[in-house]
Each structure stands twice: as C-alpha cells, then as structure tokens.
Structure 1
Amino acid sequence: MKEKYEMTDLGLLHHFLGMGDDGSGLASEEQYIRIVGSLLYLTATRPDIMFAASLLARFMHCPTSKHLGTAKRVLRYVKGTLDYGLDGVFARASVKQNCVALSTAKAEYISASEATTQAIWLRFVLEDFGELQTEATPLHCDNISAIAITRNPVFHKKKTKHIDRRYHFIKDALQEGTVDLIYCPTNEQLADIFTKALAKDRFCYLREKLGVKSAHNLKGSVEM
C-alpha cells in the first residue's frame, strides 16, 4: 500500500516561521534547486502543490536543512498521490500584486482587473483558433465591495481615486460585455488553494473542485 500524504500534513508554515538562519544548518543548494524546480514543473498538471512549490521557491539561495526537509515532504506527497489526473483546467496563475492596496476590497478590485487582462487574452487565443466567444467571460470574486466598486462609477470616484488608472479598464470590459463579474462565496473560492495554507478538509474539497481526481475513484478506467 502506498503511503499517503496530505498537503496540510506538511506543516509548511511551521517550517518557515524561522526564515533565514533557522539553526538547522545550510543544505545543498544544488539539490534544493533541483527538487523545487521539479515541483514547479509539476504545477502545470498538479495545481494542488502550487502554493507549496511557490513558497519553497522563495528560498533558492542558501536554503537550510529545514527548507530541504519541507521540499522532500512535498515530494512524498506527490509520490503518495501519483495516480492523479487533471480534468478541464488549462490556464491558471498565482502572482503577487505589484502595488499596495489599502483595503481588502481594493486588493480584490485590482486582482479582478488583472484577471480581466488574462480573460481578454484567452478570448483572442480562442478567436485565432476560430472559436469566437460571444458571451461574457465570467470572473468570480468573493468580495461584494469590490464588485460594487466595479459596477458603480460614483462609488469609484469617492473611494478609489488613489488606485492606478490602468486598473479601471475593467469597467469598460464590463460595460462592453467582455467580462461579467460574479459573486462567489468565500467557501467556494477555488483560488484559495493557490495562495494560502488551508485546513485539511477545505484543501481536499477545493482540490476536488479543481477537477483533480484520484485514480482510485475512476472505476474501470484505470488498471491498478
């Protein structure tokens, strides 16, 4: 029987509380880079390790034994869930915002604007393949205030005048029918699995919602 590891069993946050010289000694930088590089490559088909791999990638220079040990735990998780397949997801990203927002609503507003640029690009790609998308691309946001800022120009003038103008083009995209900003309850927000450490139950729930399925659940389709 394969040994199973859950991402929430890795204790990533505890491993990284002592960033820098954590007293565990320096590890092989070459080995660490090789392991983390492999994990980053795997995120193309394993979105469930994106947060862990991105966090590990911050310590490519002078990694400690604690960092290396955490990277190996992620590898064991991948090995223990080797028979996984991805269904229906082909484009995703998790990046830090390059500006400072003064509230959660404004941070979500900026994120929605950046997501709009990706939606427009994907629409162009589909058009190049002869698949013209006539309906608006749905963007899911879990912040009601951010949606209100987008839909209400008066609210925008009073509350968001300090935000860089380039982020306001989402309003034009919304009015033109290019995108449609839809409220998504926080407990259904799939993006959380890319950006933060989660409790085991929530991690497993979002992993399943992404379309990542265990081969053990594919009855008759995979020979075990």
Structure 2
Amino acid sequence: MEPNAKMCEHEGKDLKDATMYRQLVGSLLYLTLTRTDISYAVGVMSRYMQNPKKPHLEAVRQILRHVKGTIDYGLLYKKGEDYKLVGYCDADYAGDHDTRRSTTGYVFMLGSGAISWCSKRQPTVSLSTMEAEYRAAAMAAQEKNPVFHARTKHVEVHYHFIREKVLEEEVELKQIKSEDQVADLFTKGLSGSKFESFCHQLGMVKILEADVEGEC
C-alpha cells in the first residue's frame, strides 16, 4: 500500500456483489503464508469483508497487480548463516481510521530469512504510542515462546508479561532505528525504496535470478 494511504469503512460506493471481493481477499490471505510483502495490505483489506466499497476493491486489485509483477519472488534461506533467532516488532499508533486502533507488526528471522510474521489490528484502542508498542512487544514475545503462542489462551497482562520475560532473560529488548525497523513492513504503507529494501532484508528475492545452489 502507498504511504499514508487511507482506507475507511464508509467512503465510496457499495459493490453490487461483494462475493468476488471476499474471494479475492480470501485467496490473498492464503498467499500471506509465504508472502511477507503483502501481509499488511491484505490484513487491512480483510477488515472490509462485510461491506466492501469500490475503493476497497481497487486496492485489492492493486495488491493483485503487485503479486503478478513479483510472481517469481520467494523467501530464500541460505546455508552457512548464523542461525540466531532475532525478532522485530513495532506498532502503528492509532492507524486505523475507523476505530483508531493500532496495528501490531512483528517478524522473526532465522539466519537470512523470515520464518514467522504477523500484521494484526490490536483488539482495543491504545491511549499512547508507548501502550501500543508495549502490546506489540508482548505479542511478539508470545510468538517466541510456544507456550504462550497467540493461538493459545494466556492470562498475563501485556505489560507484566513482557517485563517478566525480560527479567527471566527469555527475551532481550533492543531499540531499533527507524531506517532499520523491518517490522514497519507489517504496520504501515511504505515508500517504494524502503519497501523493496525491507523485503530483501527478510529474504524475499527473485528466486530465478538468485544463486540457489545448496539453498532452500
């Protein structure tokens, strides 16, 4: 999606039949299992499944054009890399124009490629940037620890959860400069150059042109 692109629930004309929209978004959601580059945009468009408008359909078509133009791209995992698990997380404070809820984004890298990622609107409104980012960090920490995976129930409050994991040395938090924060790919629309740079850092390359001998 374009930087500062605004998608709203009630702007634009209704679609005569929303079936195609829902089918397209459903197919794109399936693609996000291996396509880090469309995770944020598809997540945003999935919010309008109930009553999509014409601008929403045009945005979905734009995603499809991007997929068509990058059909030969994929995640490349190189041998001989340092297989240290590193995670990035961020939050786009109050980025949803309809609800003013924030969007959590995180990605985990193992060696040269992304192995787990998520772009998800937070369930409630955050009252500050710090609160939104605290929630994002807690969600990423849950992904790191399979016992507290996002698909399981947990009772720890976000703030104390991440604090405890740091004290227990299960998680180490580091501040990342904006220009190096690859999790931005999952929280907001980016400029073309930054978008391409972050995709490359996550291991998404043109497979046919890459030196893939011995890789996977």
Query: TM-score with structure 1 length normalisation?
Result: 0.67
Determine which of 16, 26, 30 is the counterpart of 2:15: 26
Distance (whole Å) between structure 2 residues aligned to residue 122 and residue 83 of structure 1: 36
Matched, 1:198 2:190: yes
For 1:90, what is the secondary structure of its paired residue?
A: strand
Structure 2 match to 1:120: 145
What 5-or-longer segments of structure 2 have no aligned partner? 77-112, 150-155
The structure having more radius of gyration, on CA atoms, is: 1
CA drift at 1:212 = 0.5
CA drift at 1:102 = 2.8
Describe the superposition over 1:12-39 as per-residue Cα deviations: whole angstroms up to 9, x where unpaired.
826x35x42514x524211111111011
Identity within the alignment, %: 35
Query: TM-score with structure 2 length normalisation?
Result: 0.69
1:110-189 pair list within 5 angstroms: 110-121=135-146, 165-189=157-181
Structure with the largest fraction of strand = 2
Distance (whole Å) between structure 2 residues aligned to residue 178 and residue 74 of structure 1: 37
Kindly report structure 1 stretches of 4+ aligned residues shifted beyond 4 Å.
none
Structure 2 match to 1:144: none
What 5-or-longer segments of structure 1 have no aligned partner? 1-6, 125-163
For 2:189, what is the secondary structure of its paired residue?
A: coil
Q: Is the 8 A contact 1:86 1:213 kept in 2?
A: yes
For 1:93, what is the secondary structure of its paired residue?
A: strand
Describe the superposition over 1:96-150 as per-residue Cα deviations: whole angstroms up to 9, x where unpaired.
22344332123212221222222111799xxxxxxxxxxxxxxxxxxxxxxxxxx
Structure with the largest fraction of helix = 1
Paired residues, number: 171
Structure 1 match to 2:32: 43
Distance change >3 Å, CA 178–CA 219, structure 1 → 2: closer
Distance (whole Å) between structure 2 residues aligned to residue 105 and residue 48 of structure 1: 26
Structure 1 match to 2:117: 92
Distance (whole Å) between structure 2 residues aligned to residue 13 and residue 123 of structure 1: 34
